């Protein structure tokens, strides 16, 4: 490679930051976008479903697109999407969220696959950058809206220029991508021999036979791809899915109900409105994610199911707090939210480090891109459950004399 390891780390750190920051900002703004009367999981659903669909179908088409074309697409989708999110009208905001979500899912698959060529240093940079995106996005949004009182629409619009940073891709040494074609093996029967046979075949019965053979090969390769997907479920995808299921149930369905009276003593000075509590939780969660994703080279966690079990315990604890109001101070909850983010970030980076360590070189690019389906699937399930869970918890609190979840 033409650049030293530190440059590769920095580039992928920036890619991770930019790719995830819009996703984070949108979730941080969920309370402002839908208000107190609609569940925040509505924003989460719009923010994750398109990305999940992209990741789900990516193994069947992504290899057809050059990395250069992918980068241009990411920039256009992200910039336009964030511009629409800042518009203010809910229907337009949701369209913008969908575009930004498509870009986020597309970008995650793209850059995770690129780490196959630039090795573990790139994955560590990407993981730390995605963690930094959470801290940067939620922190800056809290600074703009809760402390500096900048209007929400202007705050959101400021983030629409960040995707231009993807242009740094063209400064990478791309020769390594050309030298390692082994992992770019086609999944749907598009080998050069098959394409040449189809294109060059004469317009006769022979052409029909060639086309029929090609369809048979495509069908066989489709099922082969599905079989490869199945092999990844137990070691990588199931534990990552469950970690993200629990943490996003906490973040988007339970956290909006983990509120406290603003006039009580020893409250943080920046808690002026109830939405400030929600935004603060988001920032602390992202701080935990950043810490764990940035220290994976120091602390390796091979037992992924342990992380998902601990995250499940966190979910139970916050549900009990929401229902029973066990502690009357926000500080213990803030600490728990930080810990929850730490577990989530650790599960993410260690899953992909396990892939690099355990998978054969010819399988890594496919596996890195495919396993990313798991986190989006967990978030998607959480969004669907959250549409019902948050209103249920809020109704219980109102009946219990704690109406804060209905206030801004």
Q: What are 203-232's pLDDT values in tens digits?
A: 554 555 545 555 655 566 667 777 888 888
Name the residue with higher pLDDT: 228 or 198.
Answer: 228
User: Is pTM, for the whole model, over 0.85?
Assistant: no
Closest by CA to 252, choosing from 337, 183, 328, is 337
The 10 Å Cβ neighbour count of residue 354 is 18
143 and 383 Cβ atoms separated by less than 8 Å? no
pLDDT average, residue stretch 99-113: 91
The most distant pair of C-alpha atoms in the chain lies apart, rounded to whole Å, by 85
The packing angle between helices 238-248 and 361-399, to 10°, is 30
Would you give the DSSP letter of residue 357?
Answer: H
Q: pLDDT per residue over 81-93, tens digit each?
A: 999 988 878 889 9
Nearest-angstrom CA–CA distance, 32 and 165? 27
Please choose, from the candidates 120, 134, 185, the residue with its C-alpha nearest in 3D space to the C-alpha of residue 352: 120
Q: What value does the mean pLDDT of the chain take?
A: 83
Element (H, E) at 123: helix 90-142
Domain ranges of the chain: 5-406
Assigned fold of 5-406: Growth Hormone; Chain: A; (1.20.1250)
The lowest-confidence range among 78-82, 152-156, 306-310, 335-339 is 152-156
Name the DSSP letter for residue 258.
-
Of 133 and 325, which is predicted with more confidence? 325
Q: Which residue has the higher pLDDT, 246 or 59?
A: 246
Token duo for residue 162: 């960040």
Nearest to 22 by CA among 144, 127, 160: 160
Convert 363-393 to b/e letters by CB count within 10 Å (16 or more is b): bbbbbbbbbbbbbbbbbbbbbebbbebbbeb
Most confident of 164-173, 317-326, 353-362: 317-326
Report, as an integer, the average pLDDT of 27-36: 80
**What would the mean pLDDT of 302-325 be, rounded to a whole number?**
95
Burial track 173-205 (b if 16+ CB lie within 10 A, e otherwise): ebeebeeeeebeebbbbbeeebeebeeeeeeee
Q: Does 192 have pLDDT greater than 80? A: no
SS3 of residue 205 by DSSP: helix
């Amino acid at each position: 490679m033409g650049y030293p390891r530190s440059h590769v780390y920095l580039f992928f750190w920036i890619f991770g930051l930019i790719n995830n920051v819009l996703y984070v900002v949108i979730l941080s703004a969920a309370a402002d976008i839908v208000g107190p009367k609609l569940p925040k999981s509505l924003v989460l659903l719009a923010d994750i479903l398109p990305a999940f669909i992209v990741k789900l179908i990516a193994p069947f088409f992504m290899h057809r697109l050059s990395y250069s074309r992918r980068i241009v697409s990411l920039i256009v989708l992200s910039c336009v999407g964030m511009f629409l999110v800042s518009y203010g009208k809910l229907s337009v905001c949701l369209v913008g969220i969908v575009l930004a979500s498509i870009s986020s899912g597309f970008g995650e698959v793209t850059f995770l696959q690129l780490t196959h060529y630039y090795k573990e240093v790139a994955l560590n940079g990407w993981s730390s950058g995605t963690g930094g995106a959470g801290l940067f996005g939620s922190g800056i949004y809290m600074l703009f809206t809760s402390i500096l009182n900048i209007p929400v629409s202007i705050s959101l619009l400021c983030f629409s220029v960040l995707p231009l940073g993807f242009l740094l891709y063209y400064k990478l040494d791309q020769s390594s991508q050309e030298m390692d074609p082994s992992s770019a093996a086609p999944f749907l029967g598009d080998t050069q021999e098959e394409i040449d046979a189809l294109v060059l075949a004469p317009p006769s019965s022979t052409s029909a036979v060639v086309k029929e053979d090609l369809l048979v090969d495509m069908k066989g390769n489709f099922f082969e791809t599905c079989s490869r997907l199945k092999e990844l479920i137990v070691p990588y995808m199931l534990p990552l899915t469950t970690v993200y299921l629990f943490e996003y149930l906490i973040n988007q369905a339970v956290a909006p109900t983990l509120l406290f009276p603003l006039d009580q003593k020893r409250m943080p000075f920046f808690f002026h409105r109830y939405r400030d509590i929600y935004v603060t939780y988001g920032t602390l969660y992202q701080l935990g994610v950043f810490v764990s994703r940035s220290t994976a080279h120091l602390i390796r966690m091979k037992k992924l199911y342990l992380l998902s079990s601990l995250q499940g315990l966190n979910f139970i604890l916050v549900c009990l707090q929401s229902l029973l109001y066990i502690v009357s101070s926000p500080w213990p909850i803030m600490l728990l939210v930080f810990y929850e983010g730490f577990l989530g970030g650790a599960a993410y980076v260690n899953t992909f480090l396990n892939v690099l360590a355990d998978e054969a070189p010819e399988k890594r690019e496919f596996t890195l891109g495919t396993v990313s389906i798991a986190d989006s699937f967990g978030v998607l399930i959480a969004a669907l459950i959250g549409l019902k869970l948050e209103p249920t918890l809020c109704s219980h609190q109102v009946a219990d004399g704690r109406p804060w979840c209905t206030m801004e």
